């Protein structure tokens, strides 16, 4: 591998997992690349820094060394029969990738609850994890750039039976046509129970030509801001202030605002500051 890497103009190194490493009924001891793949990666990169890594896997891989050193990483999952064609088209820029992660990729298992802890509020997922992930929920890159501007929220305040209009502009500021996935998150500042750090409420995939700008609007019924009250055995929305966050991922927040729900926006009794 080292000899071939030294002779090559560019190295495309395919790494990942298979059914022997991750499958139903099997637990991984860690999130690292299995076997000697990490050694292979570092040796090949030392021989030729112009190395692109293609990850083929079913679950998250904590490729922290690759993230810090390798100039390009393509997440291909288990790509199927036309995977080779799809990977080649992405690497050569024929297709502009626009995928965004459907889960959090942790840098390690440090700070993550044990696998037999099923309560996500103990520190699992983008909603409750307080550490710094390797790749946050919703993360995704492309060969172009996008700018978010002009956040507008109405009405203010909004009745508990109403709807919230959250609108903004997204512009492709790069030189290639590409797609972006604007994501809407909210956080209730004060309530009778502890609330998530952020909760995904809406998202939309949009494709923009170079320089193109598009107006995006999310209409969110206030009832969608409800949480399940275990004492009442029902969903409820408490009056109060909700932070509104628009981003390209759960950690890449581009626009921030707030909206008050209810006639007064007062905090309920016996409240918790989140």
Q: Classify residue 27 as exposed, middle or buried by CB count within 10 Å of its CB (0-12, 13-18, 19+).
A: exposed
- 62 pLDDT above the threshold of 90: yes
- 63 pLDDT above the threshold of 60: yes
**pLDDT, mean of residues 192-219:** 96
- 1 pLDDT above the threshold of 70: yes
Residue 264 is predicted with a pLDDT of 45
CATH superfamily of 2-95: Glycoside hydrolase family 3 C-terminal domain (3.40.50.1700)
Backbone Cα Rg of the chain? 22
- 265 pLDDT above the threshold of 80: no
CA 69, CA 51: separation in Å to the nearest integer?
10
CA 192, CA 269: separation in Å to the nearest integer?
7
Residue 267 is predicted with a pLDDT of 45
What's the chain's average pLDDT? 93
Residue 210 is predicted with a pLDDT of 97
Nearest to 33 by CA among 62, 54, 53: 62
Question: For the structural domain made of 146-267, what CATH number should be given?
Answer: 2.60.40.10
Band of pLDDT at residue 263, cut at 50, 70 and 90: low
97-118 tens-digit pLDDT: 999 999 999 999 887 888 788 8
Q: List Cα–Cα distances, 64 to 41, 87, 111, 134, 238, in angstroms.
A: 12, 22, 16, 7, 41
Structure token digits, residue 89: 């088209």
159-195 tens-digit pLDDT: 999 999 999 999 999 999 999 999 999 999 998 888 9
Q: Classify residue 114 as exposed, middle or buried by CB count within 10 Å of its CB (0-12, 13-18, 19+).
A: exposed
Helix (H, G, I), strand (E, B) or coil at 46: helix
CB-based contacts of 195, cutoff 8 Å, min separation 6: 187, 188, 227, 272, 274
Would you list the domain boundaries of the chain?
A: 2-95, 146-267
Residue 271 is predicted with a pLDDT of 59
Residue 178 is predicted with a pLDDT of 97
């Amino acid at each position: 591998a080292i000899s071939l890497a030294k002779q090559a103009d560019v190295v495309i190194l395919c790494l990942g997992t298979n059914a022997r490493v991750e499958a139903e009924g099997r637990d991984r001891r860690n999130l690292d690349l299995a076997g000697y793949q990490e050694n292979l990666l570092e040796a090949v990169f030392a021989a030729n820094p112009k190395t692109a890594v293609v990850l083929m896997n079913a679950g998250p891989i904590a490729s922290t060394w690759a993230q810090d050193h390798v100039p390009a990483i393509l997440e291909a999952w288990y790509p199927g029969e036309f995977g080779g064609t799809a990977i080649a088209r992405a690497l050569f820029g024929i297709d502009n990738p626009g995928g965004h992660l459907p889960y959090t990729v942790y840098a390690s298992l440090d700070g993550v609850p044990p696998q037999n802890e099923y309560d996500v509020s103990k520190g699992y997922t983008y909603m409750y994890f307080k550490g710094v992930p390797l790749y946050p929920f919703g993360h995704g890159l492309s060969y172009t750039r996008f700018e978010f501007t002009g956040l507008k929220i109405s009405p203010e305040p909004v009745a508990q039976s109403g709807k919230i209009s959250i609108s903004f502009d997204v512009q492709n500021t790069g030189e290639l046509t590409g797609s972006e996935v604007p994501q809407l998150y909210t956080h209730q500042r004060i309530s009778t129970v502890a609330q998530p750090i952020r909760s995904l409420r809406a998202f939309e995939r949009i494709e923009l030509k170079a320089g193109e700008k598009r107006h995006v609007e999310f209409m969110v019924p206030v009832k969608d801001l409800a949480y399940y009250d275990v004492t009442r055995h029902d969903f409820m929305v408490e009056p109060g202030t909700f932070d509104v966050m628009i981003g390209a991922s759960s950690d890449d927040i581009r626009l921030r605002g707030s909206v008050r729900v209810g006639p007064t926006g007062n905090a309920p009794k016996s409240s918790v500051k989140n």
